[in-house]
Structure 1
């Protein structure tokens, strides 16, 4: 199944827990985390090891996960949602909640259960049957609440009489349930208003317990969890004398201590679930949680706890002692992560350099290919122009020979009423030629064009030549009379006698085209 099509809600409880552990440590997206966890048979420890070692693709983790995987759990309903009680060890001293021979109790990651999933509504017929009992219970609760408001010592006395000094956390079901971030904001606001402190006096984490838990695990910081219960008399002195003391405030704000401080009141659903998961039996409660690789590669354990009233120096000393015991181990893990990150950065830089080099080679190949194509195009155009020029020259030579054969002979001395034209050629030679009165102006142009082919020897030796097919001749000169200057264009046609007269002196002027001008300028 593709990761993009995998429905997370269809995962079992153990699979969701493995996914949460893996993403909290590696900070990967779900699309990248799900395929590796599936390969590792949903063993989070093996998946995390393969991720940081960078050999998830080279080493087959399936066989190793199959050997390390526990027996498959019984099938569970897909509708079952993750709750706090699923993470609570069944026995306080059981193997699930303790480290292997080191006395550390694993701290669970608590995801608050939505209010809609904590209580399942009864079907409508049952609700109708239980309506009298619900009304009776509501009236009794209201009356007992009014008596407790008038006599405040009665609820405390009954609470101590019922459960003694060690009591389980109680939750106020009347408080409006909010999401973890809003719940944390509400607690901080009520804490500051009740004890008269400004915002930021204590660096509370403005998010849920799971977010603070993941932050401490990812950055290898110490998570200080403080749980308060307004029903206990020791809460207010503990807050004023211990939490708000200058020593503890400095201890929590000191950057070198790497502390993430999260606090809550058990009146809220999330803090209540956290208290139940941490097996809290006495308030006020504080504990220090940190990553303990000696237990497992992903475990977060409680290394120091405090239940009940305690002075600030004693609490700080207890936490500092536990932090010193774990400092070397955390430094070793930080060094390993830095080396792994440096290796990943180096690999990324090498891959980036390779990609840049490959892109440069592609660009060079593209430019070379374009230059070759441009060169081939230029050569092809030059060949085409040369062929066109050669064809034009052959057609012009054939047309001149053909036209020279079709020019009538010059009238003899006995001819009368002839037209006598004196021509000055571009070479400087002067030629006098007689034409019949009916001769067209084009015949005069043809005489000038074919003058060098009109010799008697050329005419006798020249064979019959055909007009080149599809060729239209264009004269590259014009005939002009010098004074007054007048040009006799061949396009206007007409007879020589009508256009020029019985005689005339004409100059042959060459017509220079734009291409010829460009060639002359280049030369």
Structure 2
């Protein structure tokens, strides 16, 4: 933008005043403020609304285009706008358009209150006392002449009117706490009232109404007004009005505020309230934008329940159809979303089942391979054991002492009956160890094979006898663990039986190897 366009000397007095008022509220630079004010026809209220709520399309241009291309809208569906009176008079000759409902800036409830140091507070105490006396005097003067504050509110700078909010003597609270205080005071004054006020701030109430596609009834009360209590009792709490508000088919949310509180006072200024008690119906207007909230009904002053009910019913009826279309669209979108989620869920379950089956197949295949490997290992170990046992029998048979001859005295003659029924008859030297008798029984088949090759002891093989020798009558077990010679254990001779040892780890083949 050229410097000539931003030349402040070229502005008129009214334009310069509007620029100062706008910059006092928005703190914008002149390079940004002047173009916006020009697009707003130097109307400060319009420019401030565009700054906080977004500029959006030009209402005047849209209204002129609507007049050229379409017939005027019906009177019963015409919402009220929130612009200034002069701008409203300009648009009244062209067309009625809906502007977004104002949103206000509130202070966070957890923001600490600034307290000056004690020394500074003591120094400024006289000035503070004088200031309070002057404020009290002006307040008393305003009570004596009530038309002066209203006149001042109309002519004063809107950016400076907010100074009143701190002179009411009420403790400033956050939006939620302020709403709770209003509901508590309303309950104390009007007992057993059936109006469900929202217990949150004004901005949150707007968001809830927009999200739930419901109408928001904003009720602003001024305790200084003489007719406030009677209007609430006779009109707002009238049975027919309460029934209409609580009817679920009307989709009404109610938010209330006391103009002595900062938030409610800012709402009253934003809605350009000039008469109390006041109520406004705010609703989402999709024909303006996808997020627009607009005032579609205003109830100002003391009205009868019939008049209030008529205005409420007209505002709700005239704007119910667009909301129903949006609800239907949202329902269709939600149904499509639910269907898509169900399909995705079914697909995920199917994938999970397939993955579980694949995992079970992999585990079964791995288990089968392990069992085959274990079986092959056991079979190989068993075959090796059999080879080592056969080799050991040949080796041990070759290392046995020969049967003593007739010249040897005190020989021991032993008869051993095998499980197969075959009997072994053999003589042993009197000093022969009992293990010699066990080895003879174990290697009997190898002793009968004269052509057996000479071999050595198998490496790493530990031989264990799978039988024991017992005497039948009386039953005596000759165990190798006790040791001793054959003469000491059996005497000069004896008849013995081979009794297999039933071990849990031995199979039936181990028993048959004895025969």
After TM superposition, the score normalised by the length of structure 2 is 0.74
Cα separation, 1, equivalents of 2:504 and 2:148: 118
- Alpha-carbon spacing, 1:240–1:483, altered in 2? closer, same or farther (3 Å): closer
Match of 2:68 in 1: none
Is the 2:430–2:486 Cα contact (8 Å) retained in structure 1?
yes
- Asked if residue 466 in structure 1 is aligned to residue 456 in structure 2, the reply is yes
- Alpha-carbon spacing, 1:487–1:129, altered in 2? closer, same or farther (3 Å): closer
Is the 2:404–2:429 Cα contact (8 Å) retained in structure 1?
yes
Query: What does the per-residue CA deviation read over 1:281-337, in whole Å, with 9 as the maximum and x for residues that have no partner?
Result: 222211111100111111000111122222221122122122222121111111111
Cα separation, 1, equivalents of 2:427 and 2:115: 127
Match of 2:351 in 1: 358
- Asked if residue 138 in structure 1 is aligned to residue 128 in structure 2, the reply is no
Cα separation, 2, equivalents of 1:513 and 1:137: 111
- Asked if residue 385 in structure 1 is aligned to residue 375 in structure 2, the reply is no
Is the 1:216–1:222 Cα contact (8 Å) retained in structure 2?
yes
Match of 2:98 in 1: 104
Match of 1:236 in 2: 229
Query: What does the per-residue CA deviation read over 1:336-375, in whole Å, with 9 as the maximum and x for residues that have no partner?
Result: 1111111111111111111111111221122122212211
Q: Secondary structure at the match of 2:435?
A: helix
- Alpha-carbon spacing, 1:102–1:184, altered in 2? closer, same or farther (3 Å): same
Mapping for residues 113-262 of structure 1, pairs under 5 Å: 113-114=107-108, 131-141=125-135, 148=140, 155-164=142-151, 171=165, 172-194=167-189, 196-198=190-192, 200-262=193-255
Is the 1:107–1:289 Cα contact (8 Å) retained in structure 2?
yes
The gaps in structure 1 that reach 5 residues or longer are 1-70, 74-82, 149-153
- Alpha-carbon spacing, 1:213–1:357, altered in 2? closer, same or farther (3 Å): same
Q: CA deviation at 1:227?
A: 0.9
Match of 2:479 in 1: 489
- Asked if residue 289 in structure 1 is aligned to residue 282 in structure 2, the reply is yes
- Alpha-carbon spacing, 1:400–1:123, altered in 2? closer, same or farther (3 Å): closer
Match of 1:511 in 2: 501
1:453 to 424, 446, 449: 446
Is the 1:85–1:277 Cα contact (8 Å) retained in structure 2?
no
1:344 to 337, 340, 360: 337
Which range moves more in the overlay, 268-277 or 484-493? 484-493
Q: Secondary structure at the match of 1:515?
A: coil
Match of 2:73 in 1: none
Q: Secondary structure at the match of 1:305?
A: strand
Is the 2:413–2:494 Cα contact (8 Å) retained in structure 1?
yes
Is the 2:220–2:259 Cα contact (8 Å) retained in structure 1?
yes
Cα separation, 2, equivalents of 1:436 and 1:116: 110
Is the 2:107–2:174 Cα contact (8 Å) retained in structure 1?
no
- Alpha-carbon spacing, 1:92–1:401, altered in 2? closer, same or farther (3 Å): farther
Q: CA deviation at 1:192?
A: 3.1
The gaps in structure 2 that reach 5 residues or longer are 1-34, 38-47, 54-81, 155-160, 511-515
Is the 2:236–2:242 Cα contact (8 Å) retained in structure 1?
yes
Cα separation, 2, equivalents of 1:119 and 1:335: 47
Q: CA deviation at 1:416?
A: 3.1
Cα separation, 1, equivalents of 2:111 and 2:489: 113
Q: Secondary structure at the match of 1:467?
A: coil
- Alpha-carbon spacing, 1:494–1:323, altered in 2? closer, same or farther (3 Å): same
Q: Secondary structure at the match of 1:302?
A: strand
Cα separation, 1, equivalents of 2:50 and 2:274: 16
Is the 1:84–1:113 Cα contact (8 Å) retained in structure 2?
no
RMSD: 3.4
Q: Secondary structure at the match of 2:146?
A: helix
Q: Secondary structure at the match of 1:263?
A: strand
2:303 to 310, 313, 321: 310
Cα separation, 1, equivalents of 2:364 and 2:325: 58
Cα separation, 1, equivalents of 2:148 and 2:438: 138
Q: Secondary structure at the match of 1:391?
A: helix
- Alpha-carbon spacing, 1:216–1:192, altered in 2? closer, same or farther (3 Å): same
Is the 2:276–2:300 Cα contact (8 Å) retained in structure 1?
yes
